[in-house]
Structure 1
Amino acid sequence: MLSAWDRLRFLSIRDLLVHRGRALASIAVVAVSTALLVTVLCIIGSIDQSIDRVAAGLGGNAVLEVSGASDSGFPAAVRDEVGRVAGVTAAVPVVRTAVSTARGTVLLLGTDATAAALDSPIKNELTGHAAALTSVKDGVLVGPDTGFAVGERIALRGGEVTVAGVLDSPEAARFNGGRYLLAPLALAQRAAGKSGVLDSVLIIGDGGADALRPGVSKAVAGRAVVTESSAEASKSSNGVMLIRFTAVAAAGMAFLVAGFLIYTAMGMAIAQRRPVISMLRSLGGRRLTLVGDLLLETAVLSALGALLGAGLGVLLGRYAIERLPDLFLQAVSARIEFIMPVWAIPLAVIVAVLVCVGAAGLAARQVYRVSPVEALAPVGVSVADVVRPRLRIAAGVAAVVIGIGAFVATRQPGIAANAGITTMFTAEVLLGFALGVPIVRAAAWVASRFGSAGELAAEAIRRSPKRAWATLMTVSVAVAATFAISAGNTNAVDSTKDSFAALRGADVWVSTTQAGTFPTGPLLATDLPERLRALPDVAQVVEGQAGYVALGGKRAMAFGLAPGAASPLLAAVDSKVRQAVLDGQGVIMSSDLSDALKVEVGESVSMPTATGERAITVLATVPFFSGLNGAIGMALPNMREWFARQGASTLELHAAPGIDPDRLLTEVQGVLPAGTLAYTGAAAVQGFGDSLNQATRLNHLIWIIVVIISAVALINTLLLSVLERRRELGVLRAIGSSRRLALAIVLAEAGAIGITGGVLGLLFGSVEQVIADLASARAWNVDVEFVPVPAAFTLAVGALVICLVGSLIPAWRVARMNIIEAIGAD
């Protein structure tokens, strides 16, 4: 133990203090990568725990839950039939729906006295404030974050309610972020416009879920869905899964880059310490001991960097949670708030250390190839600096296999297609390794084009091929990441936004949800369509609905369509199919949903509704944005009848001839009740584009991190180049060369490496853009068109410039070099 400490103190720590730049660069790489991983874990943990808190806070000891086949609920009579099932000791009715108030959207919960059988926080709150509820007419209890005070009146869709009490316990604050209303069942049904309807029934009974499920399912008779918890359906929705997968893929990309840079940094450190390693080997030092010291050094540095980055990750996680796109979370009824998982930081630190130690272990293998004599050889001459041809051949074969696998991955259903992006990055790094010799030669040739200084720079590149390769690959990764993220995201967002172009067919949209989301909010006032038809500038009002339905174990989106509807689903089919759908003969189904259900055009599938099982015939399948769990379009009368959901959740307004849409918008906004929104068709399309851009912000953060890391790595490696050639540069200065020549040599080397790496990055990035487009087409279920993005080229050049700016620091150091010290350096 003492000898290990001495080696660490006199060798590793001393070297790190001498080469502080390399140590700080390594720590920075790990810190930013860990910060991103902590951010990702906070996003995932916050979403899951927010959903679980609502489920646990309401469900308590319930073993089964009967949920509505759609968000319109099911007849209250189902509860009575379920309550008579053998083994059921309590069937607790629940109204659970989002309602619009003057202070924003809140969750309205209603239940009756049978909730006393639940062992849950909500039951405790109702029990503790029962007297206040019964003493106030139409009284409700409000969460601590709603902003309402005792005695205040709240206008809801079905009338007004009065605040009988404000809950202020810690449990009340945790439930749905404190934004909810608790009401007696009958009042909640009336206030939500759901008289005689329930959203769920929580079942308490003997024998467990498996014993009760058959009897409960028989009693439900297809009018609702029987599950152990509706929370699992929310967590498995495509929107949540897409956020989760994208975040994990982003963190994986960051650690792929971090692992590569740690590998190159450790390789450089070993090359620079070769004389010390030779001395230790000559004195009888064991290779295993030397490798262990290097891995311990890496573990300490990576742990330090991970701990520094964890704090930043928590701040980024809080920022990200506040800006999650509503479009991807529409299937989630719970309010997503920042919840720091206790396991986030420990897991991130462990992953960071394992990745870095693993990368360092690959680099440290070269210690086994260093003999005492070879270790004293100049850099580039030793056997350790020569890569065996069969290793490059193996890397090339692996690159081809993994590259093919990346294309195969993009054909996988849903969000699994995104795995192809990171997989292709791995293939490109391996291909770069396989082609290391010609790539380095190309960099040397480019350097030689810069005159006499370039010839000296070219020779330096040839003598240190590993360092040159690592540096230019770092630049290429930064440029390729720019294309994959910037160009790939641009194509995906533009194509998805264009898929909603049919929404421009309406001059004005009216809904209770904002532009850029589907109109699944509370239904509009029943008299609103007629009031709008009475406006002089309105030529036509088309009613429509959107809501969630249970289909094949998924919570899919259903659209109720009427003649004249400006719907992307209708626009994607021919007139014959369009008319058949409007006539109620069948439905249009999104292709991802049809794939998941394994149903073809012309086939039927059974769908539970509030009025029992219904067989629907698939008349056409079309691509449709799958931030949700697929979609179906059906005739509006069918949707209203099957799901007992009268009214409309959206209205399309068409202006009279010669009337400007903006003028119509202003006129409509003047007559809308509070909580109802209006926007133009162009704004509706742009809203989806803005929501999708918001969803890709995390990827742009990845790009920034990769570019910064690449710039730091370039500074580090060029500084190492200056140190390796310190005596050489000093001799040149001693025999009369100018500072300008020494400066030009470093800049020529940096320019050659940057240009070569940039060109390689453009090639890799173009492939990455193709992969990203293919993956997005499957993950988002839209036809993504490959289009060259000029802005991506600009950003790629910008990334290259940032990396090249890093050469100014070592160049400045060369210009200030003391000749005597340089010549006398060991």
Structure 2
Amino acid sequence: MIRAALDRLRLFNIGELFAHRARTTMAMVVMGISAGLLVSVFSISGSITGSVDKLTHSLGGKAVLEVSGITDAGFDQQLLQQIRAVPGIGAAVPMLRQSIGADDDRALLIGADQSVAQLGSDLGGTLKDQASTLLTVSNGVLVGSAMGHREGEKFQLGTVTATVAGVIDDSTAAKINGGHIVIALLPVAQKITDRTGHLDSVQIVAAPNTDVDQLRSELTRVVAGRAVVADPDLRTAQAGGAVMLVRYSTLASSASALIVSSFLIYNAMSMAVAQRRPMLSLLRAMGGKRGPMVRDLLAEAAILGLLGGISGSIIGIFMGRTAIHQLPAAIVNSVESRTEYEVPDYAVPVAILACVLASVAAAAIAARQVYKVAPIEALAPVGVGAADMVKPVMRWAAAILGLIMVSGAVFVAGADLGRVSIGAISLAIAGAVVLCFAATDPIVRAVAAVARLFGAPGALGATTIERAPRRVWATVMTVMIGVTAIVAIGNATRNMVTAATDSFEGLGRTDVFVSPTAMEQFPTGPLLPADLKQKLSAIPGVGGVGSAQMAFATLGRGRVMLQAYESGVVRVSALDSVSQTDLARMAAGQGVVISRDVARSLGVHEGSDLTLPTPTGEHTVQVLRVVPYFSAIAGVVVLDLGIMRQWYQRPGETIIGIDFAPGADHAAVMAAVRAAVPADIHVSTGRDAVTAISSSVRQGTSISGAILWIVVVVAAVALLNTLMLSVLDRRRELGVLRAMGTSRRFLLRTVLTEAVGIGLTGAALGLAVGSAVHYLATVALGHAIAMDIAYHPSLLLVAYALIALGLSLLGAIPPALRAARLPIVEAIAVD
């Protein structure tokens, strides 16, 4: 029985796939595009979280818990003895870990003692083998092969001149931060970073038969808020949060591509059914059952989805490698590990499965034409049989379901669910498609009416349109989705970039910024030289100098960015609405200002008490204001600079703001500032900082924008597919018309009028739906990035729609030319 099914599938279905190679290739290509987009999106986020996870396991080994610093300032080393005294601890391994260098030269400095061998990690084995060498070399360090240093070489590292005691072999180095690693004994690492007496991490190995949950509770009591006790995968979870917005937005765009591809598969299977009606009717007349025929069609679609998914996934791997370089540096540099490109284990299977399911679901709808018709009815032309008619009850059900989906999208967008709110965009578009299914008849009549505007060729084209309503509707939907995606997501993204830029306009009021990294990367460290501020203050023409700090900190299970400013010179919009009374309370350590996403995740509001864990213990403050703030990487907690230095043990500053004195020669003062600042420290004007941040935000959305235009290209392919089917359906009819003297030009215009009818109707629907979803998307994105985004419709909205329509209509050219060039004798020949 199985053998018979396989033979039938090979003969009637797989054989047809080879017989119609163009259609098969087209279907596989669009599914491959969808699979490629999904794999690349998964790989972008998976590379960042996977790199952090790989580093965590390379350093942590058998550790079941980690006591880590709340910020990069770490915690007092004296806490180590209290940790080791906790019952149930088999080993407590101290570490100091700090990023060094910047951009392509960024590496990780690790300091540890000989107890690291108890972890059984890659780091432990390396340090155990080389410990004796390190002890005999002054300021000796081990370096990864990617660092480019040789054994015995001396180089400046932090505050000391380090000597390379050994180079870690390639195989071992590759496992630890991709070989961009510097390892030193703990005292040397503390000396290099000028952090004597401080640790960043203690890896906890539990003693045999120890209850890990109880051990966690006891450790939490001992550290008393001075450090964070968590599973080692906390760092991975926090890294995932930094790229979540990019992942959600690109997934929404990729989902649009998959939906459009599903419609194209539907058209392809409808084409297959239409061309096989004589064969199917013959099989039915010979006693063939409907069930096996439908199952064969579904298997055929599954094969298309499978092959397209496999080929697309391979391409997606390379697409992701290219796309990951388009991520803003602020996201990549917000995690301590270097991002190594890798494809998550689930990426390819999920992409292939999505393609197969989408293909089968689309084919199942098309296969109803086979399942519902009687043998004699199967011989009728497409569009005449009952299979092309939809029962009124189904249309009413679709209308109700569509209204529920749209209502759900409105609720999700307005419910302030954070980044989950972005799901409202896809839900709204899907709901619009379902509502359009309920309105199939009016939509098809509208397409035919548009075609009739073009005279006799249009009238003939309108007749063809009315004969295949479901196929025409499906193609209108592909055009509508393409235009909707461009209009809605494209314009909402533009509004988001504008809002994000406006939120940083306050930085433009400061003349010059000095920071260890570029301002668009949100400089969190290292701290600037202690005497730099004084040197800058002494420059002629400098009117004022102010300090600020940024630092990532753990709050709950999430990560926030601490920001602290010295009043006067450094001005940010987050504090524009804060009164002088509240600023005084911040200076006294009584309150903080937080962004909306932090308030949402912690369940607090203005006036609530908030407990901040710090290296000096827990401090309870009041939430003075909840402000909108661009939080694509992490939420923000703003506090007084003096309080941050005291509580978080971070002296100095990571940002120095400079205002020019009235009447000063800006160019001369700027040149003097650059001369006073070390070469590896960034200097930028306030206006340049705003421009760079805006460009970084725009860069983060560029991937999503590229995907949207791919959706439009897929829609163009769908239109080509439908019109090609129209030409094939009317092959004999077109041949008779040519034999009666109809010109090639007339037939060419006939097919083009169909395309114009479908394209204009789809574009009009897309413009209407896109405008509504655009408003919904601005609300959803506002909740996702925790700030207000103004809805600004633009003339570009119409331009985008026209460009998308133009690309879609390009798909009409090949079938129109085929119809015009169809040989008369071949067309009227009996198949």
Same fold by TM (over 0.5)? yes
- The offset of 1:116, in angstroms, is 2.5
Amino acid at match of 2:367: A
- What is aligned with 1:38? 39
- The offset of 1:431, in angstroms, is 1.3
- The offset of 1:372, in angstroms, is 0.9
TM normalised by structure 2 equals: 0.96
- What is aligned with 1:563? 567
- What is aligned with 1:647? 652
- The offset of 1:704, in angstroms, is 2.6
Stretch deviating more after TM superposition (53-62 or 238-247): 238-247
Amino acid at match of 1:225: V
Cα separation, partners in 2 of 1:217 and 1:270, compared to 1, 3 Å: same
Amino acid at match of 1:83: R
Q: Give the counterpart of 2:615 among 610, 614, 621.
A: 610
**Residue 351, structure 1, aligned to residue 354, structure 2:** yes
- What is aligned with 1:806? 811
- What is aligned with 2:398? 395
- What is aligned with 2:420? 416
- What is aligned with 1:453? 457
Residue 90 of structure 1 aligns to a residue whose secondary structure is strand
- What is aligned with 1:531? 535
Stretch deviating more after TM superposition (458-467 or 249-258): 249-258
Q: Residue 457 of structure 1 contacts residue 748 of structure 1 at CA under 8 Å; is this kept in 2?
A: yes
- What is aligned with 2:496? 492
Amino acid at match of 2:517: T
**Residue 339, structure 1, aligned to residue 342, structure 2:** yes
Map 1:239-638 → 2, pairs under 5 A: 239-410=242-413, 411-564=415-568, 565-638=570-643
Q: Residue 80 of structure 2 contacts residue 94 of structure 2 at CA under 8 Å; is this kept in 1?
A: yes
Amino acid at match of 1:255: L
Stretch deviating more after TM superposition (462-471 or 431-440): 462-471
Cα separation, partners in 2 of 1:673 and 1:234, compared to 1, 3 Å: farther
Q: Residue 513 of structure 2 contacts residue 655 of structure 2 at CA under 8 Å; is this kept in 1?
A: yes
Q: Residue 400 of structure 1 contacts residue 427 of structure 1 at CA under 8 Å; is this kept in 2?
A: yes
- The offset of 1:511, in angstroms, is 0.8
Map 1:5-20 → 2, pairs under 5 A: 5-20=6-21
- What is aligned with 2:119? 118
Cα separation, partners in 2 of 1:83 and 1:285, compared to 1, 3 Å: same
What CA distance in whole angstroms lies between the structure 2 residues aligned with 1:225 and 1:343?
31
Cα separation, partners in 2 of 1:295 and 1:340, compared to 1, 3 Å: same
- The offset of 1:42, in angstroms, is 2.1
Q: Give the counterpart of 1:746 among 751, 772, 793.
A: 751
Q: Residue 304 of structure 2 contacts residue 359 of structure 2 at CA under 8 Å; is this kept in 1?
A: no
- What is aligned with 2:177? 176
What CA distance in whole angstroms lies between the structure 2 residues aligned with 1:414 and 1:154?
46
Cα separation, partners in 2 of 1:2 and 1:550, compared to 1, 3 Å: closer
- The offset of 1:570, in angstroms, is 0.9
Residue 527 of structure 2 aligns to a residue whose secondary structure is coil
- The offset of 1:313, in angstroms, is 0.8
- The offset of 1:722, in angstroms, is 0.9
Cα separation, partners in 2 of 1:809 and 1:788, compared to 1, 3 Å: same
Stretch deviating more after TM superposition (236-245 or 376-385): 236-245
Unaligned runs of 5+ in 2: none
Q: Residue 45 of structure 2 contacts residue 244 of structure 2 at CA under 8 Å; is this kept in 1?
A: no
Cα separation, partners in 2 of 1:180 and 1:659, compared to 1, 3 Å: farther
Moved over 6 A (4+): none
- The offset of 1:52, in angstroms, is 1.3
Q: Residue 139 of structure 1 contacts residue 163 of structure 1 at CA under 8 Å; is this kept in 2?
A: yes
Amino acid at match of 2:107: V
Q: Residue 565 of structure 2 contacts residue 639 of structure 2 at CA under 8 Å; is this kept in 1?
A: yes
What CA distance in whole angstroms lies between the structure 2 residues aligned with 1:762 and 1:143?
55
- The offset of 1:614, in angstroms, is 0.6
- The offset of 1:810, in angstroms, is 1.1
**Residue 708, structure 1, aligned to residue 708, structure 2:** no
Stretch deviating more after TM superposition (581-590 or 96-105): 96-105
Identity across the alignment (%):
42
Q: Residue 267 of structure 2 contacts residue 721 of structure 2 at CA under 8 Å; is this kept in 1?
A: no
What CA distance in whole angstroms lies between the structure 1 residues aligned with 2:76 and 2:802?
62
What CA distance in whole angstroms lies between the structure 1 residues aligned with 2:333 and 2:275?
55
What CA distance in whole angstroms lies between the structure 1 residues aligned with 2:236 and 2:340?
19
Residue 600 of structure 1 aligns to a residue whose secondary structure is coil
- The offset of 1:776, in angstroms, is 0.7
What CA distance in whole angstroms lies between the structure 2 residues aligned with 1:7 and 1:151?
72
Residue 621 of structure 2 aligns to a residue whose secondary structure is strand
Q: Deviations over 1:247-304 (max 9, x none)?
A: 4434333322222322232233223322222221111111111011101111222221
Cα separation, partners in 2 of 1:477 and 1:615, compared to 1, 3 Å: same
- What is aligned with 2:794? 789
Amino acid at match of 1:518: F
- The offset of 1:583, in angstroms, is 4.8
Stretch deviating more after TM superposition (787-796 or 308-317): 787-796
What CA distance in whole angstroms lies between the structure 2 residues aligned with 1:508 and 1:807?
56
Map 1:19-34 → 2, pairs under 5 A: 19-34=20-35
Map 1:157-172 → 2, pairs under 5 A: 157-172=158-173
**Residue 685, structure 1, aligned to residue 686, structure 2:** no
- The offset of 1:208, in angstroms, is 4.3
**Residue 759, structure 1, aligned to residue 760, structure 2:** no
Amino acid at match of 2:185: P
Q: Residue 508 of structure 1 contacts residue 664 of structure 1 at CA under 8 Å; is this kept in 2?
A: no
- The offset of 1:5, in angstroms, is 4.2
What CA distance in whole angstroms lies between the structure 2 residues aligned with 1:186 and 1:223?
22
Amino acid at match of 1:805: L
- What is aligned with 2:681? 676
Map 1:98-137 → 2, pairs under 5 A: 98-100=99-101, 104-137=105-138
What CA distance in whole angstroms lies between the structure 2 residues aligned with 1:25 and 1:663?
63
- The offset of 1:669, in angstroms, is 2.2
- The offset of 1:628, in angstroms, is 3.2
- The offset of 1:575, in angstroms, is 4.2
Residue 513 of structure 1 aligns to a residue whose secondary structure is coil
Q: Residue 550 of structure 1 contacts residue 607 of structure 1 at CA under 8 Å; is this kept in 2?
A: no
Amino acid at match of 2:411: V
- What is aligned with 1:694? 699
Stretch deviating more after TM superposition (710-719 or 652-661): 652-661
Q: Residue 524 of structure 1 contacts residue 649 of structure 1 at CA under 8 Å; is this kept in 2?
A: yes
What CA distance in whole angstroms lies between the structure 1 residues aligned with 2:742 and 2:635?
70
Amino acid at match of 1:795: Y
